[in-house]
Chains A and B, each alone.
Chain A
């Protein structure tokens, strides 16, 4: 964690204000979420399956409409002006699939152009693919022959090349082997250092702790707690997480959580 805290807080690149989503079947997927991600920061949403992480990301991308509140990208309401808002965001999904009949290069080319970046040369594409750790021999292979990790790398290359100030990552490390995981974390760090605001959802506690500037713990759509990485230093995050998940925080006092509570 090389970056330093500054006293002036810049305007948040990604912001959720009272973001609430209730599905038609009455399930409250997200309850009054408030979060801010400034440029050069990584916010990790931790939570189990169904905690509301993906819902939050879908709201930022206008895939679903919020019941209440708003999701802002660079100050633009993502649900009111989705086309404008989405110019400022890149996205990497969980389990990147892409077009199976296209080569990596064709996929990258299409999506990057779709992101509005039409000036890249092949060399730049190659550089980006290299940067994410894809082997040159795979550049012109069809995606259907790719492994999960390779597809994920291609997806990240697309996000990098879009060069948007905000990046949304939905479970980016799920299914990656440790080596690929480490490479990925390194890459995210680099992007942060380039000044990107990164919002990622994950259930990988260790990586979240390792890289994030802020960690939010979601359970049943509620942001149970938000901690800075400094807060978490030295805390047994795993236990904390499990406690949150078990719903301890609502009823009993957990020693770990207590330690974190602002006094």
Chain B
């Protein structure tokens, strides 16, 4: 009985022209999106490679360790083929230097704004928008359509239990929609292999989890379609209702949730933070130069009344200490600035995290948000993409600047060039440089932060759970509604 009902549902779906049309459309879309995604990824990778080369070349060709300019780049992530997430919105690179703080800038969209107009279609988008719409299209009349057909009456003139019928209906529709969906998805995996996209074992697991998530999401809309069609008598009404719910939950609620919550918690803009940082920096350097001139004055005072020779001797004796003192002071100032910068950033980041948490939680009333957030978390193209990279680049900056400092001392070059003006010798400039290329073999390399699969899963588990709860609610609701459904 159960298998018979499942078979019928399957046949009913697979034999319809509706199915043929949507299957073709979905397959084209899925394969096209992954194909374009692979192209985009390869593009990003080749750009990344070139940029890496340029960066190390720039270090190599610098005129001295003090003039080394380093840039760290965000590494393209093969999973962005499926879930581009924030990849296109977040800056690609940051300067790494002792002077500037780390800041990701030049997002792919700001560099190539033309692609920002319509944005990129990734698989996550297709699942979120197109597949959910199709799921509704196949379920809006699942129950009330059979009532209108008279087949519901006819079926229940036999000894069929409602529970069994509903279960069979659900499984039939589920199989009929999900299994065909697997075909283009498997084709995309094939594409990944043909184009030799470098995927680790963990990446494959993540892709599998993403496919699972997509199925969960589509299942929700199947359940929703069944629920609404079990709550209404006319398929035209259930269709309209479902469409409205679809528009609301897929297109509207995520935006509204994020926009309102985002604006409830105002966060400082980057320019604002920078101005604050600069003001502090200025103040620190002003203090520094003041204390420097004070100490000079003091030293001069100490030498007051000495003869020229005594002065020279005194100077020779103390010069090293003085230099060390000044140097220590300068280091202190730098440290203060860095500390203050980080403090400001941390403060802002905390506020941002608060804002984001609030926004996400509000938008999670829509399963579409849950799906999108979980997909991004899985693919690690989520909201933490920026802070994650900036954090790791900061660590790298410390390592790098320390290395450069050390090299500077080794090669004994001071910052900038020295201009000495002497009434006898005129002006002489010391660039303190060697014309050789710098030996960059020992330069610490930046490695992209790695998010373990477990961590990525961990962060998406809430949304997996939420989607499951939504499904259970839908199914439970359908069950209750169908048990009391008026079949006439």
Q: A155, B160: Cβ atoms under 8 Å?
A: no
Q: Say which residue of B148, B155, B161 sits within 8 Å of A83 (CB atoms).
A: B161
Q: B4, A114: Cβ atoms under 8 Å?
A: yes
> What is the CA–CA distance of A82 and B483 in the complex, to the nearest angstrom?
13
Q: B12, A64: Cβ atoms under 8 Å?
A: no
A43 sits at the interface (CB 8 A): no
> What is the CA–CA distance of A63 and B162 in the complex, to the nearest angstrom?
11
B153 sits at the interface (CB 8 A): yes
| A99-B157 CB under 8 A given contacts A64-B488, A106-B11, A110-B4 | no
Q: A99, B149: Cβ atoms under 8 Å?
A: yes
What is the total number of residues of chain B having a CB less than 8 Å from a CB of chain A? 25
B245 sits at the interface (CB 8 A): no
Q: Chain B nearest CB: distance from A66 CB in Å?
A: 14
Q: A110, B8: Cβ atoms under 8 Å?
A: yes
Q: B150, A97: Cβ atoms under 8 Å?
A: yes
> What is the CA–CA distance of A162 and B151 in the complex, to the nearest angstrom?
15
Q: A86, B158: Cβ atoms under 8 Å?
A: yes
A113 sits at the interface (CB 8 A): yes
> What is the CA–CA distance of A84 and B154 in the complex, to the nearest angstrom?
16
Q: A64, B151: Cβ atoms under 8 Å?
A: no
Specify which chain A residues have a CB less than 8 angstroms from the CB of B156 in the assembled complex: 61-63, 86
A216 sits at the interface (CB 8 A): no
- Minimal Cβ-Cβ distance residue in B for A117: B158
Q: A86, B159: Cβ atoms under 8 Å?
A: yes
Instruction: Please indicate which of the listed interface residues B5, B151, B158 has the most CB atoms of chain A within 10 Å of its own CB.
Output: B158
B15 sits at the interface (CB 8 A): yes
Instruction: Please indicate which of the listed interface residues B7, B16, B148, B159 has the most CB atoms of chain A within 10 Å of its own CB.
Output: B159
B486 sits at the interface (CB 8 A): yes
Q: Say which residue of B5, B149, B488 sits within 8 Å of A58 (CB atoms).
A: B488
Q: A116, B150: Cβ atoms under 8 Å?
A: no
B399 sits at the interface (CB 8 A): no
Q: Chain A nearest CB: distance from B148 CB in Å?
A: 7
- Minimal Cβ-Cβ distance residue in A for B1: A114
Q: B149, A82: Cβ atoms under 8 Å?
A: no
Q: B159, A102: Cβ atoms under 8 Å?
A: no
Specify which chain A residues have a CB less than 8 angstroms from the CB of B8 in the assembled complex: 99, 110
Interface string of B8-21 (1 = CB under 8 A from A): 10011001100000
> What is the CA–CA distance of A61 and B157 in the complex, to the nearest angstrom?
6
Specify which chain B residues have a CB less than 8 angstroms from the CB of A64 in the assembled complex: 486, 488
Specify which chain B residues have a CB less than 8 angstroms from the CB of A113 in the assembled complex: 4
| A101-B15 CB under 8 A given contacts A91-B153, A113-B4 | yes
> What is the CA–CA distance of A93 and B159 in the complex, to the nearest angstrom?
16
Q: B160, A102: Cβ atoms under 8 Å?
A: no
| A99-B154 CB under 8 A given contacts A110-B8, A114-B160 | no
Specify which chain B residues have a CB less than 8 angstroms from the CB of A225 in the assembled complex: none
Main secondary structure of the interface of A (DSSP, over half): mixed
Query: Which of chain B's residues 125-184 have a Cβ closer than 8 Å to chain A?
Result: 148-151, 153-161
> What is the CA–CA distance of A93 and B146 in the complex, to the nearest angstrom?
13
For chain A, the bracket of interface size reads 35 or more
Q: A93, B154: Cβ atoms under 8 Å?
A: yes
- Minimal Cβ-Cβ distance residue in B for A90: B157
A197 sits at the interface (CB 8 A): no
Q: B153, A61: Cβ atoms under 8 Å?
A: yes
Q: Chain A nearest CB: distance from B164 CB in Å?
A: 10
Q: A97, B149: Cβ atoms under 8 Å?
A: yes
- Minimal Cβ-Cβ distance residue in B for A158: B154
Q: Chain B nearest CB: distance from A17 CB in Å?
A: 21
Specify which chain B residues have a CB less than 8 angstroms from the CB of A62 in the assembled complex: 156
Q: Chain A nearest CB: distance from B52 CB in Å?
A: 57
> What is the CA–CA distance of A89 and B151 in the complex, to the nearest angstrom?
16
Instruction: Please indicate which of the listed interface residues A54, A85, A100, A114 has the most CB atoms of chain B within 10 Å of its own CB.
Output: A114
Q: A114, B150: Cβ atoms under 8 Å?
A: no
B55 sits at the interface (CB 8 A): no
- Minimal Cβ-Cβ distance residue in A for B165: A114
- Minimal Cβ-Cβ distance residue in B for A155: B154
> What is the CA–CA distance of A106 and B158 in the complex, to the nearest angstrom?
17
Specify which chain B residues have a CB less than 8 angstroms from the CB of A100 in the assembled complex: 149
A139 sits at the interface (CB 8 A): no
Interface string of A94-111 (1 = CB under 8 A from B): 011111111000100011
- Minimal Cβ-Cβ distance residue in B for A107: B151
Specify which chain A residues have a CB less than 8 angstroms from the CB of B1 in the assembled complex: 114
Q: Chain A nearest CB: distance from B1 CB in Å?
A: 7
Q: Say which residue of B4, B11, B12, B488 sits within 8 Å of A63 (CB atoms).
A: B488
| A111-B155 CB under 8 A given contacts A101-B16, A106-B11 | yes
Q: A99, B159: Cβ atoms under 8 Å?
A: no
| A168-B12 CB under 8 A given contacts A64-B488, A97-B149 | no
Q: Chain A nearest CB: distance from B443 CB in Å?
A: 68
Query: Which of chain A's residues 55-77 have a Cβ closer than 8 Å to chain B?
Result: 58, 61-64
A-B contact pairs, 10 of them (CB 8 A): A64-B488, A86-B157, A91-B153, A91-B157, A96-B150, A97-B148, A97-B149, A98-B154, A99-B12, A101-B12
| Beyond A86-B158, A168-B157, 20 extra complex contacts between A and B, CB < 8 Å | A61-B156, A64-B486, A84-B159, A89-B157, A91-B157, A96-B154, A97-B151, A99-B8, A99-B12, A99-B149, A101-B12, A102-B12, A106-B15, A110-B8, A114-B1, A114-B4, A114-B5, A114-B155, A114-B158, A162-B158
Query: Which residues of B are in contact with A by a Cβ distance under 8 Å?
Result: 1, 4-5, 7-8, 11-12, 15-16, 148-151, 153-161, 486-488
Shortest beta-carbon contacts, A-B, top 4: A91-B157, A83-B159, A86-B159, A97-B149
